[in-house]
């Protein structure tokens, strides 16, 4: 069930050993053990190529962008806008003007909900989301529906962790104005059929808003092929820095939307009697932007492009399949969501009646970093009647040997809790 169009395979396939050399943090130890970083769904580590790009900006060409006419400002502006162009190419956006730079996926989704939603939603309208959404694709729609009088509905998930497509048929109606959904669940790992869901939304006259936070780092993304109206993602989940996110928006929609924030750089003219807005994308980028972080994301995009997104996806699938099999050996461990061939590179699980925070703390003593909690997706956990899970997630630098270490540590946890 492919979500994205895969990129071409590079002429020389990368090796994980060579990739690991690019990540300084992987050389450190935690509690006297080599670090095994399996918290990639929350945030990925950064290669030296990203660190160096940001360092060079601060050391050699730091200045504010767009308004200055001096050399440093012009060089900083060129580096900043060149990064935007590479980001646009990475997702095959028709124009860099449709690539709005934000702080993260959360801000991107809030931008769409507040600006499009306040201008277009009214009492009697419906917003449709799914039960597997991250809170960032739930709470903004709850707020905007309360503000506008629109009704919020959701598509349930099946016991196996897929969207209930039969229920979807009855929920998408002529009253639906927005269908907002994740491309990949950050708990279940479920990969949703984005193109099909977009078509279904458009068939009833609704816009399609895609949370790509988990999918864009893993799968080559072609927004023109997907035909989504909006797509949001974050830099820190794809080897880039924190504090930089993206929302791609269809140009005609962005041009019709009011600004999200007011201030410098998003205006063309300000008078005491009123203001006129800047052109895209600057209309939605008030104030001094995250210049270094944007440059860092540009370097991360270059790094992933060099690896080849088809290789990234295949590596994650192989590692996830291996981890799925190994974790099945641990008696009393239950993995949420679909099988390994139908999911992204993460496994959220429960181990008997041991609290996930306790499991994560024990794993940490072996130098293994995993995430424990509800992962900002409480409705999923409510669906399964549990409060939290432990989540191991994989990326380009992880290995089967690290999975083996994870399994050994889980056996330690079982022995400690006498399971």
By annotation, the residues acting in catalysis are 376
Strand partners, 136: none
Is the bond into 282 cis (omega within 30 degrees of 0)?
no
- Is residue 253 classed as helix, strand or coil in its secondary structure? helix
Short-list 67, 22, 14, CA closest to 44: 22
69: how many CB neighbours lie within 10 A of its CB? 6
Q: d(Cα 6, Cα 3) in Å, to the nearest integer? A: 9
End-to-end CA distance of the chain: 37
418: how many CB neighbours lie within 10 A of its CB? 6
Question: DSSP string of 256-313?
Answer: HSPPSS-STTSEEEEETTEEEEPPTTGGG--SS--HHHHHHHHHHHHHHHHH-HHHHH
The answer to whether the beta carbons of residues 286 and 265 sit under 8 Å apart is yes
Tell how strand 33-34 and strand 29-30 pair up.
Answer: antiparallel
Q: Which residue has the tokens 């769904």?
A: 41
The answer to whether the beta carbons of residues 363 and 391 sit under 8 Å apart is no
Which tokens sit at 68? 């200055």
Q: d(Cα 369, Cα 312) in Å, to the nearest integer? A: 21
For the chain, what is the total number of helices (H) and then of strands (E)? 15, 17
């Amino acid at each position: 069930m492919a979500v994205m169009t895969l990129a071409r395979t590079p002429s020389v396939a990368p090796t994980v050993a060579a990739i690991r050399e690019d990540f300084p943090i992987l050389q450190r130890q935690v509690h006297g053990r080599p670090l095994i970083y399996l918290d990639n769904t929350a945030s990925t580590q950064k290669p030296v190529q990203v660190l160096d790009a940001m360092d060079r900006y601060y050391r050699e060409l730091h200045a504010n962008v767009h308004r200055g006419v001096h050399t440093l400002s012009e060089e900083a502006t060129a580096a900043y806008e060149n990064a935007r162009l590479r980001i646009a190419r990475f997702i095959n956006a028709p124009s860099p003007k449709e690539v709005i730079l934000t702080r993260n996926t959360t801000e991107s989704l809030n931008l769409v909900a507040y600006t499009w939603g306040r201008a277009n939603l009214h009492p009697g309208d419906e917003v449709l989301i799914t039960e597997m959404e991250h809170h960032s694709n739930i709470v903004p729609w709850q707020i905007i529906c309360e503000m506008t009088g629109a009704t919020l509905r959701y598509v349930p998930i099946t016991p196996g962790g897929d969207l209930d497509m039969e229920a979807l048929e009855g929920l998408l109606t002529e009253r639906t104005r927005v269908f907002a959904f994740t491309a990949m669940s950050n708990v279940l790992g479920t990969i949703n059929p984005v193109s099909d869901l977009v078509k279904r939304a458009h068939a009833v006259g609704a816009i399609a808003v895609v949370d790509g936070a988990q999918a864009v780092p893993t799968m080559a993304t072609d927004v023109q092929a997907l035909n989504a109206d909006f797509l949001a993602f974050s830099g820190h989940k794809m080897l880039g820095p924190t504090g930089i996110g993206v929302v791609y928006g269809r140009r005609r929609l962005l041009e019709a939307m009011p600004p999200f924030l007011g201030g410098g750089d998003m205006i063309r003219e300000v008078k005491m009697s009123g203001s006129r807005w800047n052109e895209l994308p600057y209309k939605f980028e008030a104030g001094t932007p995250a210049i270094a972080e944007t440059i860092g994301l540009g370097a991360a995009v270059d790094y992933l492009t060099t690896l080849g997104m088809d290789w990234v996806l295949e590596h994650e699938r192989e590692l996830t399949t291996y981890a799925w099999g190994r974790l099945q050996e641990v008696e009393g461990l239950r993995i949420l969501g679909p099988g390994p061939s139908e999911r992204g590179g993460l496994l959220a699980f429960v181990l008997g009646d041991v609290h996930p925070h306790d499991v994560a703390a024990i794993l940490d003593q072996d130098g293994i970093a995993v995430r424990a909690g509800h992962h900002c997706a409480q409705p999923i956990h409510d669906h399964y009647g549990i409060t939290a899970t432990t989540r191991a997630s994989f990326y380009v630098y992880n290995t089967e040997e690290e999975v083996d270490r994870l399994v050994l540590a889980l056996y330690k946890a079982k022995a400690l809790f006498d399971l």
